[in-house]
Structure 1
């Protein structure tokens, strides 16, 4: 496996840090239901987030 998606809080997104309780998605067939507000995702593999593999999503 070369990548995953980890849902983090804004501090995790800003600092590219995965916390112990953060939800990881790695099957390749994951579905994520977004609630209203901002949601943050990063790649949890070392160095990937720092190289830009992260996304912030704002929903209504």
Structure 2
């Protein structure tokens, strides 16, 4: 999420509850925990694996 404005507080919903971030505090990525990064990694990994599979099968060959 990108927000380009000044705010007093931001509140995000997570799997384990809500996170409130005040101005000049630690980045939100530290509060999300490892599970968010694992889900993001899997989200990126699936299309990469599919592309490699298609490439090895010859589906991405143009003539």
TM exceeding 0.5: no
TM-score normalized by the length of structure 2: 0.27
Q: Which has the higher contact order (CA 8 A, sep 6+)?
A: 1
Question: What TM-score comes out, normalization by structure 1 length?
Answer: 0.28
Q: Considering only CA atoms, is the larger Rg found in Structure 1 or Structure 2?
A: 2
